[in-house]
Amino acid sequence: MSISSTTFIGIDPTAGRKPFTFAALDPDCRLLALDSGELDEVLAFVGGQEAACVAVNAPSAPNIGLVKKELEAQSLTPGYPRGVDMRQAEHELRGRGILVSPTPARAESCPEWMQLGFMLYRKLAGMGFEPYPAANASHQWLETHPHAAFCALLGQLPLSKPTLEGRLQRQLALYERGVGIKDPMDFFEEITRHRLVKGILPLEVIYTPEQLDALVATYTAYVAA
């Protein structure tokens, strides 16, 4: 993959009104796109890139029972161990104190956002994308997890994602690493006593949780490449 011609894209499936939020960075870490839409809109953007590394905030497939087999082998009592219907990566993240959603073994048992992710991966494969790392492949995909990524960037558990302080923290973590986004500290420069009393806050300076998740996926693709 030639870095100089690669677009780095992060996609966050949410199963909302616009089920996919996506972001894109150029090789200099400048923001090229930040939008949301339907699957066909996302694929149209992805397909228009000369070369692309796409990071997706969703599991690529249901779990195949590795954790279950491992814990069954360690257990002294027969039977199905509780709380093991997850993938190996998720089990290891939880062991590090990073709580992530488990991926069931049956696709039909997965939540809608995971099933949207499965569909996205199938579409990417049909477009010629290969799983990262693939030597000399101009179009690659990789799986990431936004909460785990922010834990790694911050070196600690982040503040609650939906809160203003959690969004500011995440945006600052990305901004300080050179990602070409809005400076979250501008939020404080826009606050006056009058505006605060009236509840008029410059929220347009701060990205939504879905946008921040897409941005950290994009940055993950950028760093991985």
pLDDT tens, position by position, 154-212 = 999 999 999 999 999 999 999 999 999 999 999 999 899 999 999 999 999 999 999 99
Which pLDDT value is given to residue 68?
A: 79
Q: Domain spans of the chain?
A: 3-60+115-224, 66-105
Residue 107 vs residues 66, 81, 86, 116: alpha-carbon distances, Å:
16, 20, 12, 11
Residue 14 structure tokens: 């949410």
Dump the DSSP string for 38-89.
-HHHHHHHHHT-SEEEEEESS-SS---SHHHHHHHHH-SS-S--TT--S-HH
Pick the CATH number of 3-60+115-224 from 3.40.50, 3.30.420, 3.30.70, 1.25.40: 3.30.420
Q: Which two tokens stand for residue 82?
A: 């509780």
What is the overall mean pLDDT for the chain? Answer: 93
Inform me whether the pLDDT recorded for 81 exceeds 70: no
Beta bridge partners of 12: 21
Contacts for 201 with CB less than 8 Å, ≥ 6 apart: 187, 190, 191, 195
Is 60 exceeded by the pLDDT of residue 77?
A: no
CB-CB contact of 55 with 121 (8 Å):
no
DSSP state for residue 177 in the 8-state scheme: T
Compute φ and ψ for 141, nearest 5 degrees.
Answer: -125, 155
The reported pTM is: 0.92
Indicate the pairing of strand 20-25 with strand 6-13.
Answer: antiparallel
What local confidence, expressed as pLDDT, does residue 15 receive? Answer: 74
Question: Which of 171, 184, 185 lies closest to 219 in space, CA to CA?
Answer: 171
Tokens of 3: 């870095």
Structure tokens at 112: 């809608």
pLDDT at 80 over 70: no
12-21, 51-60, 160-169: least confident range: 12-21
